[in-house]
Structure 1
Amino acid sequence: MDADAHAWAAFASASSDDAFCAAWLTLQCSLITGVQAGLLLLHDEASQTYVPAAVWPDPRRDLSYLTEAAERSLSQRRGAVLGLDASERERLAPDSVHVAYPIETDASIRGTVVLDLTARSEPQLQSVLRQLLWGAGWLEAMLRRRGVGREALLLERAATVIDLLQAAQQHHVLDHAALAIVNELATKVHADRVSLGMERDGKLKLRAISRTALFDSKSQLVESIANAMEEVIDQESGVSVPPVPAARGRVNVAVRDLAARAGDKAVLGIPLTSGGEPVGALVLERSDGPVFDADTVLLCEMLGELLGPALDRMLHEERWFGGRLVDKLAQWRDDLLGPRRPALKLSAALVVLAALFLTFADGEFRVSAKTVVEGAVQRAVVAPFEGYLAEALVRAGETVTARQLLARLDDRDLRLERVRWSSEREQAERKYREALAKRDRAASRILAAQLSQAEAQLALIDEKLARTRLLAPFDGIVVSGDLSQFLGAPLEQGKVLFELAPLDAYRVILKVDERDIGYVTAAQPGELALTGLGGRTYPFTVKTITSVSTPQDGRNFFRVEAALEQAPPTLRPGMEGIGKIAAGERRLVWIWTRNFVDWARISFWAWLP
């Protein structure tokens, strides 16, 4: 009973995981009769193997003979008994069996416990496995507690790293970001001084010291900090004084010199890495208090790996454009000449081949221009005299035939005027006959003149009446004019009412940019693609080049007329598209770069004094 009480007391008062495991194994071996030896194996995260966590009764005893039972339990993920079969008993000590039971948490095997027992019946062995099953719950609770503690520590480290990253990202200048980082880090890890330096072209420069806005780069303290940083960068690993277990065996001459010069109790140097290469270093100092532990070292190493790329990018952004360009060209050179990046090499080869092809290959040079189709003849139908619109029978877009009525003017006033002049003529004619009968020569001559005047007015009115009917001069299409909304409106003499164009004759009008007009000559062939007739091109020939330019959208365009070789039946005046005039063979590189070269030449000439 005293031994059991002592085991329970040790189990209840265990202050560490190792003591807990040893007390647990001792308690299990005391509760189970006939135990000759016991071994507890737990999974080690660092080595990814199962290592002894407790040995009973003597921790110095070699229990490697229990390995077979442990391996069977781990592989089968259930309790295992070794020594029941005759072949198994030959490998064990006489009257001995090995019992193993796995420790499992969250569907993951975390270890196993193996006991060397005196031989016993199967029901008794089942009782032993049941006891181990019940006892394994304490180990599972410990492992879960350890996992929760480890996760909490990782979360705390992650939160610290995130805070420092946010402090760095709030600034776009390297020195400002570095000062924010060292101030925040000094507060987080309770350091008296934190310094940050960055390396460029093999030279280290101290960028920031915590709680210090200005410092003398030539002072002995700053030089000692820089030497410690160079020592850290050269070894590409953390260096500390006094050394932590993870940093033992590393050179720390400069770090010890800094500690002695500054009177520090502890100094820790951590490299800042980017792309696997050191780009700077952090140096942390404590003048009193505890030394830097493994958790602080791990936190600073995480910070160095995460902050390194961001600070290295800021360092490169500080360089002049020429320096960044040289680095980029050097990187491309290394990628092209190195053993990797086959896709980049293939792309570069294709680009070179394309450049050679464009330099030496010829192609057809064509001048492009916006194009509109017009009728070869365009006739205007105008108001013959002042009057009122009585009827409009067609509108723009409709096809008409020759002599077809387009519109009609109101002729009521003209007919009344004709009645009046008819009456005047009849009166003059009657008076004229009476004068002849009386042989009054003077009166007859006056009346003859009045009769001629009346007949002339009648002829004029008849002509106007005939012209109140506006007829189409030929077969064609109404290009413009819609008078359906102006019935009864007054018309001025000469006002254009309709514009007509024939359907069997067209001309192509190209608006050629002044930069390209020098390449266009008469009789050059070309092709026309119309927006309304997509899918086909229509050949044409240049006929006339006008010498007058028209400004449009800030540029000058010349009017070039061309004739279609064969007009499609669906072609209509007013259709727009793009025309391309063939201007001969040229080098492909010249065709694609001529506009830029001409612009650059003119701009350079204008810039010259």
Structure 2
Amino acid sequence: MNVPSGTSTRDLDGHAWSAFTSASSDEAFCSAWLTLQCAIIPGVLAGLLLLRDKLGQSYVPAAVWPDSRRDLAYLTGAAERTLAERRGTVLGLDPGDTERIPSGTVHVGYPVETDAEVMGAVVLDLRTRPEPELQAVLRQLLWGAGWLEALLRKRQIARDAAVLERASIALDLVQAVQEHRNLGPAAMALVNELATLVKADRISLGVERNGKLELRAISRTAWFDRKSQLVETIENAMEEAIDQEAGVAWPVLPGPRGKVNVAQRDLAVRSGAAAVLTVPLVSGGRPMGALTLERNQGPEFDATSLMLCQVIAELLGPTLEIRLDGERWFAGRIVEKLAEWRDKLIGPRQPAIKLGAVLLLSAILFLVVAEGAFRVSARTFVEGAVQRAAVAPFDGYVRDAFVRAGDTVRQGEILATLDDRDLKLEQVKWETEKEQVARKYREALAKRDRAAYRVLAAQLSQAEAQLALIEEKLVRTQLVAPFDGVVVSGDLSQMLGAPVEKGKVLFELAPLDKYRVILTVDERDIAYVAGGQRGELALTGITGGTLPFVVKTVTSVSTAQEGRNFFRVEAQLENASARLRPGMEGVGKVSVDERPLIWIWTRNFVNWARISLWTWLP
């Protein structure tokens, strides 16, 4: 607001209040406010009001007093200090300020804040005055800043309302698109609905497919010739916006930097449109199509229209791409995903993906080049090198049982006894029989009855043989350990008094100093195992270390387990642990040779793939 020369203070005050109350724009309001403050505060030489720009990145002059053409750059020092300290400041009172501020004047600044955020500052160039009067100036600016705060809040409310309106429009369009599964109907619903909302005469939608832009829908048009000149011109306008990754308009929108809009202008000339706007459709951070809006008459597209269309494009881009993917063949989707990953790898963004790719390639290269020990793993159990069975020597009954499976025994220790009562009765019988025959034999000798004593001699030998047999059976009623070892199987403690048949295995024993290792090797790995190879055994019952062994025999005996065949491989321990017991189980690994790590880790899968491929191929 420029002040006419010769205006009195009262007239200036009246003019300022009149302009302030009737301001029709933010610029007029700020100018009238600053003029009013300068009129109320006496001795003001110049005034400057700074407010944040629309982008919120810097402070720009919102009003200058008394003449808007006057250069007030000398007040920027006070403004910067006020903005930095976020409080009222006075420059010119300290002796050090005399170099920047002329004598007899002071610079008074006061911040403009909303919600504890500095939005600007007002700086006045005043004649020097006492400190109480300077305090009054700061109070006046404090009271006056409330009007600016109301203006800024009004601006924010207007911006919020615009955002809500854009969000409402965008949600309506999202709902319209979500009602259709296929891209064609969804695109047509989008352009028709958007044309009504933004009052556009024609809206076109195109998508990229196989690296080429293709027009898919035109508002209020059921069919169009894809090879026509107009369609080609629209596609050129879309490609122009996609190449710049920004919205492009004709006529040009005001902005910090110009954009190439040759294709937009050509479209306007060819179609007779007064205004053209094209925005890219974005999905996953990259353009996947574009929207082109045309108006034959009416207002040109402004920054608000551009922002609305950009919001719609960012919201609906992923939805449209999902429907576009639904039209592709499976192979096409794979190619698209590969191209997407290629762009992420060679593009300027996504450093984490690039780092991950480098690490993955390094790991694969390491696995291909590096070699490691190739070992065949197999389920393993330990058994005694020799196993001796304690069997029932004759039909009888169990009398006592002194050991059971797992007990350690010494050579000659009694394992169990059989009932000997019948044998002793039979022994008494044959002893009596022997005495009777012996007496008769002596009588026959005395009578010199040669025929009789020969018969009696045979009967006496029979009795002696029966006694010897019974005595042997009595000895064998005690089952004794043939050597120092451990009872592998057998428990008669629950069978006392039970009958046993001759030859029935009652106990199995194994020595404690001689063992052999049995490995059950998968048929897929048996070809790699040979005699003489070394390996290590880890047992479940002996933790904290491994036991070395040497493969002795690869047998041809196989057993089926869990749907696969396993071959029996025998090995010998090199150093037997004192805690080792027959029957222990664990995992054994046979060292074969050195192979590439990637071959070691993928051989089972490769072999499976070969068999499967051979099975299915004709």
The answer as to whether partners of 2:382 and 2:515 remain within 8 angstroms in 1 is: yes
Q: 1:355 aligns with which of 365, 368, 385?
A: 368
| Structure 2 residue 147 is the aligned partner of structure 1 residue 134 | no
Q: Deviations over 1:53-93 (max 9, x none)?
A: 22334444444454444344444443344555788679778
Match of 1:527 among 511, 535, 538: 535
Give the residue type in structure 1 aligned to 2:335. Answer: G
Matched, 1:374 2:383: yes
1:249-274 deviations in whole A, cap 9, x for unaligned?
65656556766887877643102356
- Correspondence for 2:332: 320
Report the secondary structure of 1:237's partner residue: coil
CA distance in 2, matches of 1:299, 1:567: 82
Note closer, same or farther for the CA distance 1:535–1:185 as it changes in structure 2 (3 Å cut): farther
- CA apart distance, 1:197: 1.8
Match of 2:478 among 469, 477, 483: 469
Confirm or deny that 1:556 pairs with 2:565: yes
**1:494 matched to which residue of 2?**
503
Aligned residue number for residue 305 of structure 2: 296
Alpha-carbon spacing, 1:484–1:152, altered in 2? closer, same or farther (3 Å): farther
The aligned residue for residue 11 of structure 1 is: 20
Unaligned runs of 5+ in 2: 1-9
* Mapped contact 1:526–1:579 kept (Cα < 8 A): no
Task: Work out whether residues 537 and 549 of structure 2, in 8 Å CA contact, stay in contact via their aligned partners in 1.
Answer: no
The answer to whether the Cα contact below 8 Å between 1:530 and 1:575 also exists between their aligned partners in 2 is no
Which range is displaced more, 453-462 or 538-547?
Answer: 453-462
**In 1, Cα distance between equivalents of 2:459 and 2:273:** 136
- Asked whether the 8 Å contact 2:112–2:145 carries over to 1, the reply is yes
Q: Distance in 2 between matches of 1:74 and 1:332?
A: 42
Which residue is equivalent to 1:546? 555
Matched residues in 2 for 1:459 and 1:154: separation?
Answer: 117
Once the two structures are overlaid, the 10-residue window that deviates more, 490-499 or 160-169, is 160-169
| Partner of residue 399, structure 2 | 390
**What SS class does the counterpart of residue 120 from structure 2 fall into?**
strand
Contact 2:207/2:214 (CA < 8 Å) preserved in 1? yes
Q: Percent identity?
A: 64
Superposed displacement of residue 499, structure 1: 0.8
Residue pair 1:375, 1:506 contacting (<8 A) in 2 also: yes
The aligned amino acid for 1:377 is V
What SS does the aligned partner of 1:487 have? coil
Does residue 56 (structure 1) correspond to residue 65 (structure 2)? The answer is yes
Deviations 1:299-318 (A, max 9, x none): 32245456657867986894
Residue number in structure 2 paired with 1:230: 239
d(CA) in 2 for partners of 1:143 and 1:135?
13
In the superposition, the TM-score normalised over structure 1's length comes to 0.77
Aligned residues of 2:49 and 2:122 also touching (Cα < 8 A): yes
Q: Is the 8 A contact 1:246 1:294 kept in 2?
A: no
Displacement of 1:407: 1.8
Q: Relative to 1, partners in 2 of residues 1:540 and 1:189: Cα closer, same or farther, differing over 3 Å?
A: same
Q: 1:400: how far off?
A: 0.4
Q: Does 1:79 align with 2:92?
A: no
TM-score by length of 2: 0.76
Relative to structure 2, which stretch is displaced further, 468-477 or 7-16?
A: 7-16
Shift of residue 434, structure 1, vs aligned partner: 10
Distance 1:353 1:400, change over 3 A: closer
Amino acid in structure 2 at the alignment position of 1:355: V
State whether residues 415 and 480 of structure 2, in contact with CA within 8 Å, keep that contact through their aligned partners in structure 1: yes
Retained in 1: the 8 A contact 2:368–2:597? no
* 2-structure distance, mates of 1:400, 1:162: 86
Supply the distance in 2 between the matched residues of 1:231 and 1:601 (Cα, whole angstroms). Answer: 51
Distance 1:178 1:466, change over 3 A: farther
1:587–1:261 CA distance, 2 compared to 1 (3 A): closer
Q: 1:452 to 1:324 in 2, by over 3 A?
A: farther
Offset, 1:44 = 1.9
Pair 1:235–1:170, CA change in 2 (3 A):
same
Match of 1:568 in 2: 577
Partner of 1:41: 50
1:535-586 CA-partner distances (Å, limit 9, x unpaired): 5444444443333322333333332333334433332212234444555677
Q: 1:297 Cα shift? A: 1.1
Deviation at 1:478, TM superposition (A): 0.6
Distance 1:472 1:109, change over 3 A: same
Give the total of aligned pairs. 602
Deviation at 1:399, TM superposition (A): 0.8
> CA RMSD for the aligned pairs?
5.1
SS in structure 2 of the partner of residue 320 of structure 1: helix
**What are the superposed Cα offsets for residues 116-160 of structure 1, whole Å, 9 maximum, x if unpaired?**
445544433332222112211222233234334435544665676
Rounded to whole Å, the distance in 2 between the matches of 1:170 and 1:485 is 78
